[in-house]
């Protein structure tokens, strides 16, 4: 159970970092500055990682609250 908890927490962190990367990419594209398209190209994958990490972390927290 600890492994799954850590996995969801890491997925949440990675998803948030990729979200920040997508925002920075959007800002640079809006300003017509050359910038990497990595975050634009993989936006669906990063969104899925973020959602799965957030839902999984919340479910683990909810299960811990019910056990206490």
DSSP string, 31-54: TT-----HHHHTHHHHHHHHHHHH
Q: What is the pLDDT of residues 26-42, one digit of tens each?
A: 888 889 888 777 777 77
Predicted structure pTM score: 0.78
State residue 68's pLDDT score.
Answer: 65
| Cα–Cα distance for residue pair 1/39, rounded to 1 Å | 31
What value does the mean pLDDT of the chain take? 85
State residue 33's pLDDT score.
Answer: 85
The answer to whether the beta carbons of residues 19 and 46 sit under 8 Å apart is: yes
């Amino acid at each position: 159970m600890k492994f799954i908890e850590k996995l969801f927490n890491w997925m949440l962190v990675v998803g948030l970092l990729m979200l920040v990367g997508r925002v920075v990419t959007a800002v640079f594209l809006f300003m017509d500055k050359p910038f990497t398209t990595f975050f634009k190209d993989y936006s669906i994958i990063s969104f899925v990682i973020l959602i799965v990490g957030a839902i999984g972390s919340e479910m683990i927290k909810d299960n811990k609250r019910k056990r206490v």
